[in-house]
Amino acid sequence: MNVLLTGGAGYIGSHTAVTLINAGINIVIADNFSNSSPKVLDRIAEITGKRPEFVEVDFCDKAATDALFESHSFDGVIHFAGLKAVGESCRQPIRYYRNNLDSTLTLLEAMAKYNVKRLVFSSSATVYGDQPAPLTESTPTGNCSNPYGWTKYMIEQILKGACDADPELSVVLLRYFNPLGAHESGKIGENPNGIPNNLMPYISQVAVGKLEKLHIFGNDYDTPDGTGVRDYIHVVDLAQGHLDALHYAEKRTGCDVFNLGTGKGYSVLDMVKTFSRVNGVEVPYVIDPRRPGDLATVYADPKKAETVLGWTAKRNLEDMCRDSWNWQSHNPQGY
Ligand code: NAD
Ligand code: UD1
């Protein structure tokens, strides 16, 4: 099988690349490096012994996208490419709508033109907005609290429409919960630009001494210890979910959707304590006011992925904390 990974140089794409190569799948990574480094390709080669083919493409560029499809024969596409920073999306909404929607539309036009019928899409639990956990795939979506979330919501609608119009098309929407961790080799991992917004990269950078202390956003939520509860999922488990979704997309047509989460919720304090204990490092913190737009409790009902895809998360919170630290401590400046 020959599979295109748009945005495959990024955090989740690079881990999925390793999983796919190890499964014997031929991959082509295409990325514009707007949020990633070419060095990731060397690291993937070090881990797998095989350097993936890479093509520099901006998927908003129709000519470049067509040229990629003209020169390759793809059996399927995993579409990771997109901008993903929530705060930035509020400051630069047009850039987010333009990049995330345009790249998807351009990709879909090329897929139609070159007769590529399978697509796995990186959606997000953020499409559920403010709904009570556990979230199932039939929980209503919408009411997103930021432009980033709306781009995911809108792309889901676009993909459903594309499937309605083309009975040969097979699309799998994967709604990720909170990905973290890194490949166990410590050679690839999350490499945020500037000060991280997400919890685990922030904790790791405090632990490595790049940041002074963690700011915990609120301890007055209606949760067991008052801090926010999330469903954290190891990125290597997430990567496996893409392989399973690809195989599923081969066997069917239409648009289907799966949560990829563990079904377990952990609080910010659970994360800090587990990270400190497993890695033997201090994570100083202060309690700050709530972050606007944050929810108290978000976790998945992951049963559908287990029943239909045969996928479950295998790695626990200790694995996530250990592997995050292994990556961060060996690569304190990222790639
Ligand atoms: P990432 O930023 O590490 O990877 C995205 C990649 O896409 C980057 O390498 C970037 O350079 C590339 N890219 C962006 N726009 C592009 C364009 N127009 N053309 C070509 N390449 C482009 O992010 P990630 O964490 O690996 O996320 C992958 C996908 O999963 C994204 O769509 C993201 O929105 C989604 N997602 C991520 C999370 C998370 O917490 N990491 C959660 C839910 C969903
Ligand atoms: C955020 C995004 C969401 C995205 C997800 C995964 C928002 C509102 N939502 O979700 O769209 O899909 O990331 O990329 O930004 N926390 C702290 N201190 C910090 C950072 C986080 O206390 O410095 C807390 C948060 O309040 C939250 C938990 O840690 O309770 C997780 O935060 P984060 O990693 O940013 O993920 P989400 O808020 O779940």
**pLDDT tens digits for range 279-314:** 999 999 999 999 988 999 999 999 999 999 999 999
CB of 126 closer than 6 angstroms to any ligand 2 atom: yes
pLDDT for residue 174? 99
Give phi and psi for 5, each to the nearest 5: -110, 100
The number of the ligand 2 atom at minimal distance from the alpha carbon of 294 is 8
Cβ atoms < 10 Å from Cβ of 18 = 22
Q: How far apart are CA 122 and CA 120, in angstroms?
A: 7
CA angle 255, 127, 287 (to 5 degrees): 150
- Residues of the chain short of pLDDT 70, as ranges, are none
Exposed/middle/buried for 237, CB within 10 Å: 0-12, 13-18, 19+?
buried
Residue type, 251: K
- What is the rounded distance in angstroms from the CA atom of residue 275 to the CA atom of residue 281? 8
What pLDDT, on the 0 to 100 scale, is given for residue 193? 83
CA 255 to centroid of ligand 2, rounded, Å = 28
Ligand found nearest the CA of 196: 2
pTM strictly above 0.85: yes
Q: Give per-residue pLDDT as tens, 202-222.
A: 999 999 999 999 999 999 999
User: Are 132 and 63 spatial neighbours (Cβ–Cβ below 8 Å)?
Assistant: no
Q: Is the CB of 233 under 6 A from ligand 2?
A: no
For 60-92, how does the pLDDT look when each residue is reduced to its tens digit (9 = 90+)?
999 999 999 999 999 999 999 999 999 999 999
At 114 the pLDDT is 98
Nearest-atom number in ligand 1 for the CA of 79 is 32
Which domains are seen in the chain, by residue range?
2-182+232-261 (3.40.50.720)
- Per the rule left: phi > 0, alpha: psi between -120 and 50, beta: everything else, 42 is alpha
**CA dihedral over 251, 253, 255, 256, signed as positive or negative:** negative
Catalytic machinery residues = 148
159 C-alpha vs ligand 1 centroid, how far in Å?
18
User: Is residue 197 lining ligand 2, measured as CB closer than 6 Å?
Assistant: yes
